[in-house]
Amino acid sequence: MAAVRVVGKNARMYVNDVALYLRMFEMENNMELNTKDGTAYGVDWREFTFIDGSVTMGVNAFMDETRPVTDANDLVTDAAYVNTFQADGGSVFKADPEVPIIFVPGNSAAAGEKAFFMNSILGSVALSAPRNDIQTLRGRFQGADGLRAGFIIAQIEQSFPTGDTFLPAPTGDIDVGAPVAAVTGVVAAYCVYKKTAGSVFTIEVQDTATSGSAWAAAIAFPTFTAISAAYKEDITDAGKRYHRIRVNNAGGAETLGLIVVSANLIR
């Protein structure tokens, strides 16, 4: 069954460490649920026991020709699932061939806006860019888990000095909604699609129950020295209402282009 279908113009999609800009798009999220008939005798309505499920995302779009995929002519990326298989190039799957996908309907991608994100275990991205025709994109992604509906905590291209930078600004935060009883943790994803040097960076999602104070780490991503992306869930933190990020630069100042999205995890 189709769970989510969004049609519109102007959107952004981040596939691993590549930013893609869409002019017209159709995004559909499909859920497939496996159930077993568990109806007892004497019950008027059939009852089904849920066994498991899976989720897929499909995107068809016209590309925004004014925003090319990258300004680097020599970019080679594993975003198209080259890393699905073992390094020998055979047909043996890796244990965790996962690629973060972030989909942002709308053109601004500003902090606080809604975004869909998922960890994709298999997928494909087909780009067509003829010289004399409209550029198109066709993406198909199989989720390793569910599709998350969260919020952009930061989307920015700027120079980051040595040390910590907090986004939104040091006293700012993003309201992701009051936690409910089913909240068990925090889930987040990031994409660094632009990086101008080789400094070591860390991105950490922080949360608090009180806006502007008492911040604590919710999710810490692995360090990186090049363009990268990651998806992570953490249930050690119960999930709180306000989120922000800490970007730590252990080297010299350099420019990053990044997006970070998060949500409280409900299971």
Sign of CA dihedral 218, 260, 224, 17: positive
At 80, is the pLDDT very low, low, confident or very high (cuts 50, 70, 90)? very low
Q: Which residue has the higher pLDDT, 13 or 96?
A: 13
Strands 2-15 vs 148-160: parallel, antiparallel or unpaired: unpaired
CB 193 within 8 A of CB 18: yes
What pLDDT score does 75 carry?
A: 56
Q: Which residue has the higher pLDDT, 111 or 75?
A: 111
Q: Which residue has the higher pLDDT, 50 or 154?
A: 154
What whole-number distance in Å separates Cα of residue 249 and Cα of residue 206?
17
At 92, is the pLDDT very low, low, confident or very high (cuts 50, 70, 90)? low
> Domains (ranges, CATH) in the chain?
2-149 (2.40.30), 153-266 (2.60.120)
What whole-number distance in Å separates Cα of residue 267 and Cα of residue 254?
38
Q: Which residue has the higher pLDDT, 186 or 65?
A: 186
pLDDT tens-digit series, residues 223-265: 999 999 999 998 887 778 999 999 999 999 999 999 999 998 8
Secondary element (H or E) of residue 169: none
What pLDDT score does 204 carry?
A: 97
Is the model's pLDDT at 175 over the cut of 50?
A: yes
Is the model's pLDDT at 98 over the cut of 80?
A: no
CB 166 within 8 A of CB 220: no
Q: Which residue has the higher pLDDT, 106 or 202?
A: 202
> Of 11-15, 145-149, 242-246, where does mean pLDDT reach its minimum?
145-149
What pLDDT score does 3 carry?
A: 67
The percentage of residues in the chain with a pLDDT greater than 70, rounded to a whole number, is 86
What pLDDT score does 79 carry?
A: 47
At 266, is the pLDDT very low, low, confident or very high (cuts 50, 70, 90)? confident
Q: Which residue has the higher pLDDT, 54 or 196?
A: 196
- Share the mean pLDDT of the chain: 84
Per 3-state DSSP, the chain is made up of helix, strand and coil in percentages (nearest 5) of 0, 60, 40
Q: Which is nearest to 136 in space by CA: 62, 27, 26?
A: 62
What pLDDT score does 187 carry?
A: 94
Two structure tokens written together for 263: 């949500």
Is the model's pLDDT at 221 over the cut of 90?
A: yes
Q: Which residue has the higher pLDDT, 152 or 109?
A: 152
At 101, is the pLDDT very low, low, confident or very high (cuts 50, 70, 90)? very high
Q: Which is nearest to 139 in space by CA: 80, 53, 191?
A: 80
Q: How many degrees, rounded to 5, is the angle at CA 61 between CA 26 and CA 99? A: 90
**What DSSP character marks residue 83?**
G
Is the model's pLDDT at 83 over the cut of 50?
A: no
Report CA-CA distances (Å) from 119 to 143, 155, 202, 231, 244. Answer: 6, 19, 20, 6, 21
pLDDT tens-digit series, residues 131-141: 788 889 898 88
CA dihedral (163, 226, 80, 10) in degrees, to 10, reads 50
